[in-house]
């Protein structure tokens, strides 16, 4: 048992347990409804079941895979991803969702080598993320978020 891929095994089993708990709780305590008229428990049930299945798909192969050894934590990448999330939280209102989304991508990719991911790719990725974010949250969901700094 000690020679198994414990990181994926434990992670997959945790996902399985959380997903199963969410699905069972939704099924027992919330109105599920039907596909044509979904109740408040339908979405948690489906998400819980999907999470449980994904957890199982991660845990099963890990049980049969040998341990690859300890994985190191890239603290530089962890720092910049955390920083990008904090910047997004604090700059969303003053700068708007489009500029903040681009900045978030640029900051989170700073630890990557320029030889691996150039500035053109980073900026284009940021613009793509900003466009998708705007379409989903502003157009699709109709959220009241500023698009630009001057659109408050």
Q: What is the rounded (10 degree) CA torsion for 95, 74, 64, 13?
A: -50
Q: What is the pLDDT of residue 12?
A: 95
Tell me: the pLDDT tens digits for 98-137? 999 999 999 999 988 877 888 999 999 999 999 999 999 9
CB 152 within 8 A of CB 146: yes
Question: Mutual orientation of helices 42-64 and 6-29 as an angle, nearest 10°?
Answer: 160
pLDDT at 68 over 80: no
Q: What is the pLDDT of residue 2?
A: 61
Domain map (residue ranges) of the chain: 6-64, 75-140
Q: What is the average pLDDT across 78-85?
A: 95
pLDDT at 1 over 70: no
Q: What is the pLDDT of residue 126?
A: 96
Tell me: the pLDDT tens digits for 25-63? 999 999 999 888 999 999 999 999 999 999 999 999 988
Q: What is the average pLDDT across 9-34?
A: 95
The more confident residue out of 23 and 112 is 23
Q: Is 33 helix (H, G, I), strand (E, B) or coil?
A: strand
Q: What is the pLDDT of residue 3?
A: 67
pLDDT at 152 over 90: no
How sure is the predictor about 151, in pLDDT bands with cuts at 50, 70 and 90?
confident
Task: Work out the number of other CB atoms within 10 angstroms of the CB of residue 97.
Answer: 22
The rounded distance, in Å, linking the Cα atoms of 146 and 91 is: 11
Q: What is the average pLDDT across 73-87?
A: 92
CB 65 within 8 A of CB 84: no
């Amino acid at each position: 048992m000690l020679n198994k891929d414990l990181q994926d095994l434990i992670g997959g089993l945790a996902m399985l347990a959380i997903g199963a708990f969410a699905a069972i709780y939704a099924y027992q305590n919330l109105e599920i409804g039907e596909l044509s008229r979904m109740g408040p428990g339908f979405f948690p049930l489906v998400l819980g079941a999907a999470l449980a299945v994904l957890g199982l798909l991660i845990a099963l192969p890990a049980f049969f895979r040998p341990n690859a050894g300890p994985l190191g934590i890239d603290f530089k990448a962890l720092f910049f991803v955390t920083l990008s999330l904090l910047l997004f939280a604090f700059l969303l209102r003053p700068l708007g969702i489009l500029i903040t989304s681009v900045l978030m991508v640029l900051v989170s990719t700073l630890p990557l080598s320029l030889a691996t991911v150039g500035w053109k790719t980073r900026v284009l990725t940021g613009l793509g993320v900003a466009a998708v974010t705007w379409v989903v949250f502003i157009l699709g969901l109709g959220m009241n978020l500023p698009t630009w700094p001057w659109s408050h």
